[in-house]
Structure 1
Amino acid sequence: MNWYALFVELGKEEVVKKKLDYYFDPETLYSFIPKRKILERKNGHTSYVIKKMFPSYVLIRTKMRTEIFHVLQEIEEVHRLLNTGAYFSKDTGVFFSKIDDEEMRVITKLAANNGIVDSSKIYIEGSGVHVESGPLKGLENSIKKIDRRKKRAKIKVNFMGKESTFDVSVEISKCKKQ
């Protein structure tokens, strides 16, 4: 089974996921909307909000067959199956691209908590960032910038061969705990 990306109408990602869950059992097609939990300030109040990691995309894991491809085309909110034209399926007769396994490994590791990228505990030592715990542990090279005031880390991941950046919440320690 491979991972693919559906480009869907903005704001309709959950609708598409519900339709996919209705039409297919999870063994045939598994749908996934990676999200991130970030800290936001509004009117003097801070709270966590959940935002989509890749707005307008629903990720699916399936063994692509003609029947599945045609059902995907019939869902009104689905614009298209994302592709770079890198792979031609004799079964479906169309070009489409699977998401690289390494890209999906990083995305699923980040969103391991029910599909949500949770806060990571970090500390800054000199010019280096060290992750104590959380989804960023082991992915320190993906961290490009730390915003201490907003308590966010800007991270860079590859998605469909392109670099995507987005913010995730971090809890910043003053120094390394002994």
Structure 2
Amino acid sequence: MADTEAHWYVAHTYSGYENKVKMDIEKTIENRNLQDQIFEVSVPMLNVVEEKKDEQKTVQKKMFPAYVLINMIMNDDTWYVVRNTRGVTGFVGPGSKPVPLTDAEMASMGLKVDAPNVPFTIGDSVLVKSGVWEGTTGIVRKIDHEERMVTISIDIFGRETPTELSFNDVEAV
């Protein structure tokens, strides 16, 4: 069952015990010095606007009731710690074998997807490869990894003009 790479796994819990399970696993990680094997325990929350008596209130609700997401290296120790935490009924997967979430599953849930690697940073010069500004150089002012967009300043008629482009439309100079 030993794996050398960390993946996200889903543990099923009793409904309403998600936060208690999260705290218990985190305490066990600390007590058993498993910080290098279990990296993150998460109960994804969602902001929901509720309306009561003509008053709107934003409240947090669990995105996946009765489930806890765990980023860990799967081995006998980590499996035992999670599986034997009070409130955990098991891992999601066929039989007793936990199955890690794929990157596509993580992205579709809007959770922890690695930021794309871009060959430039704020302040770097970039060349626009396509679109209206093709062939123009600009200075990177802002990088939005989530939207895969970059804001660059282009000199137009002696004025700096901010322009937002896709990562695919620019390259480092």
TM range (shorter): 0.5 to 0.7
* Structure 1 residues 8 and 40: CA distance shift in structure 2, 3 A: same
Deviations 1:158-177 (A, max 9, x none): xxxxxxxxxxxxxxxxxxxx
| Pairwise CA distance, 1:108 | 4.5
Highest Rg: 1 or 2? 2
- The superposition leaves residues 119-147 of structure 1 with CA deviations (integer Å, 9 ceiling, x where unpaired) of xxxxxxxxxxxxxxxxx968xxxxxxxxx
Query: Structure 1 residues 27 and 45 mapped into 2: Cα distance closer, same or farther (>3 Å)?
Result: farther
Superposed CA RMSD: 2.7
How far apart are residue 74 of structure 1 and its match?
1.6
Quick one: which of 29, 37, 53 aligns to 1:28?
37
Residue 116 of structure 2 is matched in structure 1 by: none
Equivalent residue, structure 2, for 1:107: 109
Q: d(CA) in 2 for partners of 1:95 and 1:80?
A: 10
Shift of 1:109: 4.3
Q: Secondary structure in 2 aligned to 1:75?
A: coil
Please give the secondary structure, in 1, of the residue aligned with 2:107.
helix
Pairing 1:10–2:15 present: yes
Percent same amino acid at aligned positions?
A: 25
Equivalent pair of 2:25/2:81 in contact (CA under 8 Å): no
Segments of structure 2 that go 5 or more residues without pairing to the other structure are: 1-5, 114-145, 149-173
The total of aligned residue pairs comes to 108
Q: CA deviation at 1:73?
A: 2.1
Q: Is it true that 1:71 corresponds to 2:81 in the alignment? A: yes
Partners of 1:137 and 1:38 in 2: how far apart?
A: 22
- Shift in Å, 1:110: 7.9
The normalised TM-score by structure 1 is: 0.54
What is the distance in 2 between the residues matched to 1:15 and 1:61?
17
